[in-house]
Amino acid sequence: MIKVSVVGATGYTGEELVNILTRHSGVKITSLSAVIDKPTNISEVFPRFKGKLDIICKGLDVGEVIKSSDIVFLALPHTVSMQFAPEFLKRGKKVIDLSADYRLPADVYEKWYGKSHTDKENLKKAVYGLPELYREDIRRCNLLANPGCYPTSVILAIAPLIKNKAVELDSIIVDSKSGITGAGRKPSIGLLFGEVADNCKAYKIGSHQHTPEILLQLKNIANRELDILFVPHVIPIRRGILSTIYLKQKEKITQKKIDEIYRDFYKDEYFVRFFGGETMPELKDVIYTNFCDIGAKLTKDIIVVVSAIDNLTKGAAGQAVQNMNIMCGFDESEGLIYL
Amino acid sequence: MIKVSVVGATGYTGEELVNILTRHSGVKITSLSAVIDKPTNISEVFPRFKGKLDIICKGLDVGEVIKSSDIVFLALPHTVSMQFAPEFLKRGKKVIDLSADYRLPADVYEKWYGKSHTDKENLKKAVYGLPELYREDIRRCNLLANPGCYPTSVILAIAPLIKNKAVELDSIIVDSKSGITGAGRKPSIGLLFGEVADNCKAYKIGSHQHTPEILLQLKNIANRELDILFVPHVIPIRRGILSTIYLKQKEKITQKKIDEIYRDFYKDEYFVRFFGGETMPELKDVIYTNFCDIGAKLTKDIIVVVSAIDNLTKGAAGQAVQNMNIMCGFDESEGLIYL
Amino acid sequence: MIKVSVVGATGYTGEELVNILTRHSGVKITSLSAVIDKPTNISEVFPRFKGKLDIICKGLDVGEVIKSSDIVFLALPHTVSMQFAPEFLKRGKKVIDLSADYRLPADVYEKWYGKSHTDKENLKKAVYGLPELYREDIRRCNLLANPGCYPTSVILAIAPLIKNKAVELDSIIVDSKSGITGAGRKPSIGLLFGEVADNCKAYKIGSHQHTPEILLQLKNIANRELDILFVPHVIPIRRGILSTIYLKQKEKITQKKIDEIYRDFYKDEYFVRFFGGETMPELKDVIYTNFCDIGAKLTKDIIVVVSAIDNLTKGAAGQAVQNMNIMCGFDESEGLIYL
Amino acid sequence: MIKVSVVGATGYTGEELVNILTRHSGVKITSLSAVIDKPTNISEVFPRFKGKLDIICKGLDVGEVIKSSDIVFLALPHTVSMQFAPEFLKRGKKVIDLSADYRLPADVYEKWYGKSHTDKENLKKAVYGLPELYREDIRRCNLLANPGCYPTSVILAIAPLIKNKAVELDSIIVDSKSGITGAGRKPSIGLLFGEVADNCKAYKIGSHQHTPEILLQLKNIANRELDILFVPHVIPIRRGILSTIYLKQKEKITQKKIDEIYRDFYKDEYFVRFFGGETMPELKDVIYTNFCDIGAKLTKDIIVVVSAIDNLTKGAAGQAVQNMNIMCGFDESEGLIYL
């Protein structure tokens, strides 16, 4: 049994991570920590775990986590992960970081997150944890940067078209609709039921911090510069991201060719399901699952791609466990086929 | 034009109050105040008011409010209203308080709200603002204690049966289902969309602070002691309270007699609509209105009464304006027929 | 008092129309009709009208409607309106049609709605009822084609930029998010709460029947050919459309210039509110109102325009009454300022 | 591998049943049938099954089901199950019926469901499938009557108090709040998102068809006559039932004694979790699970019991699989621990 710890267990991502790990046949949760008033059984913090998991969640004790774990999941806010990751790595632990701290070059990080990067050493070795693109690197890494929710939904959606040079690279428009748990579990007027229900809004138009992460990964795939306009929206649901992406075809393409590109690109991927151009994916079919569903429809010269994921599963905790499975040699879907 | 001020304009109740007052043909809003970072136009705080209301909301300046107002609405948290009401009253203003500060005898207040009452003088003169019961007192009062949302939904629902001695008084059970705006607009984990959506729960069983307010008013109607069990629930909606109330018939009664009791009791009331025993009221027909809809069905020896109100309108701001209309001699429904 | 009839009173649009008309100081509702099992008081169909409106809704009797009305509102499905409008017009009634039957040239209509147009005579005289564009024509018309909900949200959003030749006309992308009442009140699996809640999807990508209506109106403004890609989505709310529109600037433009264009274009319009480029409109500020809120933000060379309306109000019944107000010489906002 | 068929696979219960069965390590789904336009892959009916289950759903062919199955699940409307069950039983199949057809004596059934019972023979042998009460009978049965959703939430909630003679039996009041999927997946105005969202209502007060089922089971436990008043409500959620139950203590009881009664009654039950009197269960902790969470709080002389289940899981499909596990000798929670 692999021993795992979750640091930051009381957020929405932490909760989902703990939930998935309790179902995993090859791991044992050995410690849970969080910023918390006093040590509390996780089944009191989240009564859903009553009878399923009996473990105290308390303030982080780095030494104890080191002693008791093989793998450390960091489900922490941005800028906090990089304070703790170095010590865990130094002591030989594998670290899976769900924050943005190890996803970007230091200069880009500092520009978008407004903080200096304090662990440039490890940053260089971190692997970006999108299994469909970097499975072999993931297998060998010790520090895994788990992708953001929006980037997962966008990169998986259009990687095949970009890889196949089927689309123009300077006019990609991404219109994403997200559930509110993506904003975290923190007391804030903007996240209240009274503000979010019966509402819909765009926010951070062209300036969302996930923009550089999307750009960086797409550039790697394209092997050249490109540009996107990313416009996120909040819709009144708890979980899920539906991204609608508008791309201009490069040369005349057919729906048949588009279908082939996607089917070929994802032919060995269990967690990506391609729907073709007629039926478009809906959030109801992916929430509480680790699937990314994709449809792509040609309309005159614009290809409209729609992708659907659960932001807490494939967009965070589920993908983190998928990565752990690869890093530890488990079956890649272990613990992840549950709904 | 009557000049009105709203103190506490940035909560859900304050927002609704401002909204209703902007539609009122006989008043002019002269000042808005709240705990707020810096003076801000109310149409920036709530963009819905853009083009409809152009007034700065700022920290409370008692002197300025006194100078500019005939009537002061206090949409403040409990225990805060009684700090400011005395000064406004002393200076001859009429005060309509939407908090619980002037609804209960001092000793009861102190027991349920955990604070000493600091304005017992004015407390004695305050009138409980349920127009259907106390219209004449309201007409003459200077300090109006606007009822709580749950009490409004419960008292209106069963006053006719109690007044007519039709039911047992020692076994009244109230099961209320409320939208979340009743809990206010404050940053709190429990009020997040992520916690409230797809959820339903009971809370404060038998210990909710609105219990003594309901008891006091029912006793006044019954003219003797009685007891209730009040169990509130939160359901995933923004606005509305549906109360289902279980009463034991005293002597053999008929549905026809029940219908007569209600029809007679509310025959001159515009804002109370009685549905009989076949069709039960639904929240969708009262939200965004000042109506209280009531159904009452006899089943063997239990009478099941269902009432529906909008917690922010008839349960707070709408009723406050209805009271102001009575206090100032306006038509009682002025500003209140809008949806 | 103007006498008005509503044909098709039991749909969501009909309900909202009746609701607005009951508040209107200058009209009297003289008949309500619908496909209905048996004549039923409208306050039984919609209990929200109890105590506010006491009128029987029954199957359409054309003669009776003609006898009792000055104005006839047709809140009917597409292809049904044109069966009845000719008779009403022949008998000198003013007709306000909320269906698509009089919005498009016959050939375009037949292509997109799959039916022959059976009233080409009157079609030629119909005026498209977007007051912000055609107020003078509306004032004189007898047959008004009330705009679709999506077209209203899109045309108002970008008319200023197109009129001012500020944007490219061959690459306009419209990503709309709509509440479900836009699909009507009919028994259908796809409209069930169980299918719509916790869900979001794109539908009819590039093939929605509102596309030619948007195109036609934009061409009129541009005075030349253009093209759009219209992609509607359903989000889990009852009311509201948020449209996010992506336009390429034609020549180098500034945010300041964009702001001027919008402020100038809508300077005399009460029901259109421009928010600039910093704050974007949210649905919560327009639902249950007749406002169209618009924001427009320049990002590199793409202008992102966001508009928010209530699909049943400014997108249907509210706009229909606004048009009636113009046609009858009422104040344009009579009956329409209510929330 | 046990071979199982699902008859009625396209409703909400059928969908959930198929979902759970795909996760079950000991069964193989061999046929799916439903009233359906034409044979269709289940992954087209419900895209969530794409990549997980590849089987055609078609109109029922009794002979084929008999040939291919060991166990037949009937997820059919009431009165339809009893048309097909006899043939399956005659051919030696085990039948798990999720309708009400085998839950009640024929005369009671006919009174509440308005139809004659056409299979009284098998009705006598049917076992009521509440494992916490009838595990041993279930183990040996061939025809299992799977309990209704409301009855499951009520019987489990109060069986311990009734068994222990702790409460009066003539004044039990049950106030249940249910998600809308309990009403099935059928085209009906009352089930539309536009009618259910932002709404809450009571319905079938004292006359819901689940009343006799609850009564019958409680009488069996009490071993004498008793009475309940059952009042169901619809709240705007997809899944879940929260039942709040009011019982009068028989003799003076303490919270401690109540806790003991529940802890003892459910000490060996994995799927029932008792919360005591302080924390009450919430729907969010049970939806998508097979758990029934219970809290019981003493307030003066009334014991308030709150239970929470997922109506599609413990209230239908999950419990059906739990019963199959018992009938077939699988671990009782096989396939059922997934969220």
- Do strands C2-7 and C27-33 pair parallel, antiparallel, or not at all (unpaired)? parallel
- Do strands B27-33 and B292-299 pair parallel, antiparallel, or not at all (unpaired)? unpaired
Report, as residue numbers or ranges, the catalytic residues of D.
149
pLDDT value of position A262:
98
D237 near C CB under 8 A: yes
φ/ψ of residue D226, rounded to 5: -160, 180
A107 near C CB under 8 A: no
Residue C145's H or E segment, with its range, is: strand C143-145
First to last CA, chain A: 24
Looking at the DSSP bridge assignments, the partners of residue A178 are A234, A241
pLDDT value of position C339:
73
How far, in Å, CA of D192 to CA of C15, rounded? 16
Residue of B nearest to C268 (CA): B51
With b for 16 or more beta-carbon neighbours within 10 A and e for fewer, the C149-164 pattern comes to bbbbbbbbbbbbbbeb
Q: How far is C144 from chain B (nearest CA, A)?
A: 26
How far, in Å, CA of D53 to CA of D18, rounded? 9
Q: What's the mean pLDDT in B304-331?
A: 98
How far, in Å, CA of D131 to CA of D136, rounded? 8
Inter-chain residue contact C281 with A206, CB threshold 8 Å: no
Cα within 13 Å of Cα(D69), Cβ side: 27
B194 near A CB under 8 A: yes
Question: Low-confidence residues of chain A, pLDDT below 50?
Answer: none
C14-52 tens-digit pLDDT: 999 999 999 999 999 999 999 999 999 999 999 999 999
Looking at the DSSP bridge assignments, the partners of residue B286 are none
Give C-chain residues touching B338 at CB under 8 angstroms.
Answer: 23, 338-339
On average, the pLDDT of chain C sits at 97
B227 near D CB under 8 A: yes
Q: How far is A275 from chain D (nearest CA, A)?
A: 9
How far, in Å, CA of C321 to CA of C98, rounded? 11
Give D-chain residues touching A336 at CB under 8 angstroms.
Answer: none
Inter-chain residue contact C203 with A280, CB threshold 8 Å: yes
Local structure of residue C192 (DSSP, 8 states): B
D235 near B CB under 8 A: yes
B282 near C CB under 8 A: yes
Nearest to A285 among D48, D284, D338 (CB): D48
3-state secondary structure of B193: helix
Inter-chain residue contact B201 with D175, CB threshold 8 Å: no
Q: Which chains touch B (3 or more CB pairs under 8 A)?
A: A, C, D
pLDDT value of position B133:
98
Contact (Cβ atoms closer than 8 angstroms) between residue B200 and residue B236: yes
Task: Give the global pTM.
Answer: 0.97
* Residue C337 pLDDT grade (very low, low, confident, very high; cuts 50, 70, 90): confident
D95-151 tens-digit pLDDT: 999 999 999 999 999 999 999 999 999 999 999 999 999 999 999 999 999 999 999
Inter-chain residue contact D206 with B299, CB threshold 8 Å: yes
Nearest to A189 among B185, B195, B237 (CB): B185
Looking at this predicted complex, what is its ipTM?
A: 0.96
How far, in Å, CA of C79 to CA of A153, rounded? 41
Looking at the DSSP bridge assignments, the partners of residue D255 are none
On average, the pLDDT of chain A sits at 97
How far, in Å, CA of D103 to CA of D117, rounded? 11
pLDDT value of position B338:
78
Give D-chain residues touching A293 at CB under 8 angstroms.
Answer: 47, 50
Contact (Cβ atoms closer than 8 angstroms) between residue A155 and residue A133: yes
Contacts of A332 (CB under 8 A, 6+ apart): A131, A270, A322, A325, A326
pLDDT value of position B337:
86
Inter-chain residue contact A177 with C300, CB threshold 8 Å: no
Catalytic residue among C149, C200, C292, C328: C149
Contact (Cβ atoms closer than 8 angstroms) between residue D337 and residue D288: no
Residue-level pLDDT, tens digit, chain D, 339 residues = 999 999 999 999 999 999 999 999 999 999 999 999 999 999 999 999 999 999 999 999 999 999 999 999 999 999 999 999 999 999 999 999 999 999 999 999 999 999 999 999 999 999 999 999 999 999 999 999 999 999 999 999 999 999 999 999 999 999 999 999 999 999 999 999 999 999 999 999 999 999 999 999 999 999 999 999 999 999 999 999 999 999 999 999 999 999 999 999 999 999 999 999 999 999 999 999 999 999 999 999 999 999 999 999 999 999 999 999 999 999 999 999 877
Inter-chain residue contact D244 with B231, CB threshold 8 Å: yes
Residue of C nearest to D195 (CA): C193
Nearest to A196 among B188, B189, B193 (CB): B193
* Residue B70 pLDDT grade (very low, low, confident, very high; cuts 50, 70, 90): very high
pLDDT value of position D127:
98
Inter-chain residue contact A193 with B188, CB threshold 8 Å: no
Give C-chain residues touching D192 at CB under 8 angstroms.
Answer: 180, 185, 187, 191-193
Contacts of A8 (CB under 8 A, 6+ apart): A14, A33, A34, A74, A75, A76, A77, A80, A98
**Taking Cα atoms as reference points, which of C137, C115, C198, C67 lies closest to residue C327?**
C137
Q: What's the mean pLDDT in B274-284?
A: 97
pLDDT value of position A322:
98
How far, in Å, CA of D296 to CA of D307, rounded? 9
A288 near D CB under 8 A: yes
As a whole-number percent, the residues of chain D with pLDDT over 70 amount to: 100
Residue of C nearest to B287 (CA): C48
Sheet holding D56-58, edge to edge: D40-41, D56-58, D27-33, D2-7, D71-74, D94-97, D143-145, D127-128
B196 near C CB under 8 A: no
Inter-chain residue contact D279 with A47, CB threshold 8 Å: yes
Inter-chain residue contact C185 with D180, CB threshold 8 Å: no
Local structure of residue C280 (DSSP, 8 states): P
On average, the pLDDT of chain D sits at 97
Give D-chain residues touching C195 at CB under 8 angstroms.
Answer: 193
